[in-house]
Structure 1
């Protein structure tokens, strides 16, 4: 693993995945990969929740990873891949809490109503997100506080020389400087707004 994203969902992780792939450092693992390969990926991540992660199996055929579930395991992944470069995507905590609350958190709070074939995936997601510091039932301010705490924990764990703290609105330059790569001659990917999130979960895209 060359690049590991420590930023939680709704911080531009899907845009970062596309950017990493564009830079030739993929394939990049993202929660979408789990959603599209549930039979294989969900059992592996359930093992990780039990403390029995098989990173070589989880990341087989991937050279990088961002988003949850990866972000919940930044400590373990630093131990497993001490030479990797880490990227902490972040955004304003107020806007993040609103976005997370109206997408991922809402999805998890209503997972009892989900189709049966989605239940194992959603239960795994809930477990990983709780491990990251976001259990069910948090209020808006508590989500903000937990978001800040996660970001501070990442910065306290990963050596500064291996960590880029990054907002996707900054575009290519800081990312390419960190990775020591030339800036592509195309716009930085901008994707996965709230409606797109629901379309991905429902399988429309």
Structure 2
């Protein structure tokens, strides 16, 4: 299997719902939750931590993590969208945007996934090495490299979001790009990928509550994995 769809949109732009939609359409999709699922993907966090600590623009063996997937959306893949475009030249580019606009995107991000930058989270994970590695990866790859350290300044973060959209649309040929909002439903996505429109309802899984619960379950599973290891 190879990557056929590269998600260039920032996290919290409907990426979880879009990931599920792509998987339903026959494009198994990679999302940040795949990194957190260490039972299924035991080496993935280590891989992305190496990417985060390497210079930007360097090519890696992306198939190490993407070999079972045909699409990637959300972090960490969107942080290296340029590298992935070069690595998978036949892939189509999916630029997800928040259906509520840039202000809604900022509020959603600050109130959910940006918690990894909080002192409370740092204190909570101080004694958990795998969580510290995840936080270091997220800080360097997502908040520093991708978001250019803008999230603590609302105006700067919003301007950077808009620049990112302009950058992607200026870089990717129009015939290979879909700017997509989840409130558009199946039709534009299916037309873009040349697949039939399903009769089922488009997934709606990106609420703040759903994301928090999913992340909480991932962390509990990781703690259980650590606890199950034999003491040396």
TM-score range, shorter chain: over 0.9
Which moved further from structure 2: 140-149 or 51-60? Answer: 51-60
Closer/same/farther in 2, CA of residues 157 and 85 from structure 1, 3 Å limit: same
Runs of 4 or more above 2 Å deviation = 106-111
Provide the TM-score with structure 1 as the length reference: 0.93
Closer/same/farther in 2, CA of residues 137 and 5 from structure 1, 3 Å limit: closer
Query: Which sections of structure 2, spanning at least 5 residues, go unmatched?
Result: 221-232
The DSSP-based 3-state class of the residue aligned with 2:178 is strand
Question: How far apart, CA to CA, are the structure 1 residues paired with 2:160 and 2:124?
Answer: 26
The DSSP-based 3-state class of the residue aligned with 2:6 is strand
* Aligned equivalent of 1:30: 31
Query: Which sections of structure 1, spanning at least 5 residues, go unmatched?
Result: none
Contact 2:79/2:141, CA 8 A, preserved across alignment: yes
Tell me how far 1:134 sits from its aligned partner.
3.9
Tell me how far 1:108 sits from its aligned partner.
2.2
* Aligned equivalent of 1:122: 135
Closer/same/farther in 2, CA of residues 148 and 136 from structure 1, 3 Å limit: closer
Tell me how far 1:71 sits from its aligned partner.
0.4
Tell me how far 1:127 sits from its aligned partner.
1.3
Picking from 95, 102, 112, the partner of 1:88 is 95
Deviations 1:35-81 (A, max 9, x none): 11274111111222203522010212111111000001111111111
Contact 1:75/1:157, CA 8 A, preserved across alignment: no
* Aligned equivalent of 2:83: 76
Question: How far apart, CA to CA, are the structure 2 residues paired with 1:8 and 1:202?
Answer: 21
* Aligned equivalent of 2:190: 176
Deviations 1:145-197 (A, max 9, x none): 11111111111222111110000000001001111111000110011211222
* CA RMSD in angstroms, aligned pairs only: 1.7
Question: How far apart, CA to CA, are the structure 1 residues paired with 2:67 and 2:117?
Answer: 27
* Aligned equivalent of 2:43: 40
Provide the TM-score with structure 2 as the length reference: 0.83
Deviations 1:1-49 (A, max 9, x none): 11111111100000001100111111x1100000112741111112222
Contact 1:14/1:30, CA 8 A, preserved across alignment: yes
Tell me how far 1:136 sits from its aligned partner.
6.2
* Aligned equivalent of 1:59: 66
Higher Rg: 2
